[in-house]
Amino acid sequence: MLKGTSMALTQAQKTALEAVTTATLTTVLLKKGVRFCYIAGSNPIVQGDRRRIVGPAFTLRFTPTREDLATVDSWSSPRSTRAAIEDMPEGCVAVADAMGSKAAGIFGDILCARMAKKGVAGLVTDGVVRDGAGVIGTGLPVYCQGYVAPASVAALNFVGWQETIGCGGVTVVPGDIIVADADGAVVIPQALLDAVVEAAVEQERLEAWIMEEVGKGVALPGLYPPNAETKARYEATRKG
């Protein structure tokens, strides 16, 4: 298990997924019947960021603002983003359902700095953050739709954490595995983790070999996707 968590992701699985692209994962999940796994709007806050993060989902949920609930005083409530952050275990990926809103930033630099200090692997949201330069300066990997000036309560009401949410068109259950890289964030359902890791590692290996074949001038028909003859040649290279 990851240190500081009780969520089912072994170090071996984490290491394997750190070498797998989100593009590969979407293909593998599609083959397993999961069409909605890519969190729309989950772009790296730093353009060109090549890091890849892997970790169990720690979910947070926002609703539309309501004046009697979404107040500055709510930041000190026992049910607040601050309290949620203190509950985050080392190695988790915070996934925040902001309903795709770009009207207010869910977190700013101080909250992201605290997450980084606690060893949170990253933040994924279908919304935006604030204090953009400050958030980038914390070093916390953040995947979002950008950054704005208004605070969260200007448009959003924080209602809870560690419950099933919808984020960027995807259902996320606490403990689902999140993989995020330059192409965005993908959700791997817990029940499919073992099968997805095995298939994804093999898919990466196969596609690396196919790229070598393309470099040799081999035509695509029968190569990608591979037909029986191509699969036989590939298996022969592995045995050799």
Task: Say whether pLDDT at 101 is over 70.
Answer: yes
What predicted TM-score, i.e. pTM, was given to this entire model? Answer: 0.92
Mean pLDDT confidence for 201-226: 97
Q: Count the neighbouring beta carbons within 10 Å of the beta carbon of residue 98.
A: 30
Task: Say whether pLDDT at 70 is over 70.
Answer: no
Q: What is the pLDDT of residues 136-186, one digit of tens each?
A: 999 999 999 999 999 999 999 999 999 999 999 999 999 999 999 999 999
pLDDT given for residue 76 in this prediction? 73
